[in-house]
Amino acid sequence: MRAKMRIMGFRGAAVKPLNEEAAAELGAELLGEAIVFGVGGLCVYLEYARQTGQARRREEEQAAALRDMAAALERLREELDALQASLPAHAASLPVNAQASASH
């Protein structure tokens, strides 16, 4: 690994060992930042999950409303067909004046 670093032009610098107090301080800082980052990441994930759930519920509600409207439309078509089927038989039994006013 050192040979690769030298080939790429990097020179290793001597690293002084840290005293115990400085190492503890850096470790505590790193741990604190990791906790903050973890909590932030968890918040982002929970918000994403909440938004996804809301979108899925909204789509399910829209699909249910569409199914209800399609069923209502089919029911109205059946009623219209039944009314149209009974209309010629009913119109033939009406007097002439009633047939003219029924056509308007």
pLDDT tens for the chain, residues 1 to 104: 666 667 777 776 777 887 899 889 999 999 999 999 999 999 999 999 999 999 999 999 999 999 999 999 999 999 999 998 888 766 666 665 555 555 55
Question: How much is the pLDDT for 93?
Answer: 66
Torsion of CA 16, 22, 23, 29, to 10 degrees: -130
Residue 7 lies in a domain: no
Residue 37 lies in a domain: yes
12 closest CA partner among 2, 20, 22: 2
Span between the terminal Cα atoms of the chain, in Å: 96
* Domain with 32 in it: 23-83
Tally of domains in the chain: 1
Residue 56 lies in a domain: yes
What are all long-range contacts of 95-103, with beta carbons under 8 Å and residues at least 24 apart? Answer: none
Question: How much is the pLDDT for 2?
Answer: 61
- In angstroms and rounded to an integer, the radius of gyration of the C-alpha atoms of the chain is 39
Residue 103 lies in a domain: no
Residue 12 lies in a domain: no
Question: How much is the pLDDT for 94?
Answer: 63
Residue 58 lies in a domain: yes
